Structure 1
Amino acid sequence: MKITKKTALIDTVVNNMPAKHIRLSGKVEGLDAFYSVAFVEGKDTYYQVMAWTLANKEAQYTERMNKIIHSLKEL
C-alpha cells in the first residue's frame, strides 16, 4: 500500500483495554482505500483490529468501522 494520508496515533480505550487507533488512506493495487486500525493491549497479549473500505465510501462507513473496532472483547 502506498500511503497518501494518515492520522496521528490516537489514544483510546476498547472495552476497558488501552488502545492506539490510526486511520490511513492510500492506493492498493490501483484502488483508493481507507483503513481504520487499532492496536489493543489485552491482559496477556496484544490485538490488532482492522477494517477497510474503498476511499469513496469512507464517510459512509467510518461510524460502522469504529463500532467494529470497539466491539473487541477479551474472553
Structure 2
Amino acid sequence: MIILRLDRIMVERRMSLQDLAEQVGITQANLSKIKNNKVNAIRFSTLNKICEVLDCQPGDLLEYEPDHDQ
C-alpha cells in the first residue's frame, strides 16, 4: 500500500492547504483528497508541481507500507 505523507511535509514547510492548492493549481477539495489518502492515483504533473512548491522529492511524499490483510 502506498501512503501519501503530504500532511507531514506541509506541516514541516508551514504550508496551508489553501496556499498549496493555489500554488499547485488544483482545488482545495482535490488537494485534501491527496493529503488524506483518498485517491487511487495522482498525476505526475501534479506530483511534480507539489514537489516544486514544497521543495521536496517524490520519495518525501510517498511511503510503502505492506498490506498485511492480503
By the TM > 0.5 criterion, same fold? no
More helix by share: 2
TM-score relative to the length of structure 2: 0.28
| Larger RCO, structure (CA 8 Å, separation 6 or more) | 2
| Structure possessing the higher radius of gyration over alpha carbons | 1
More strand by share: 1
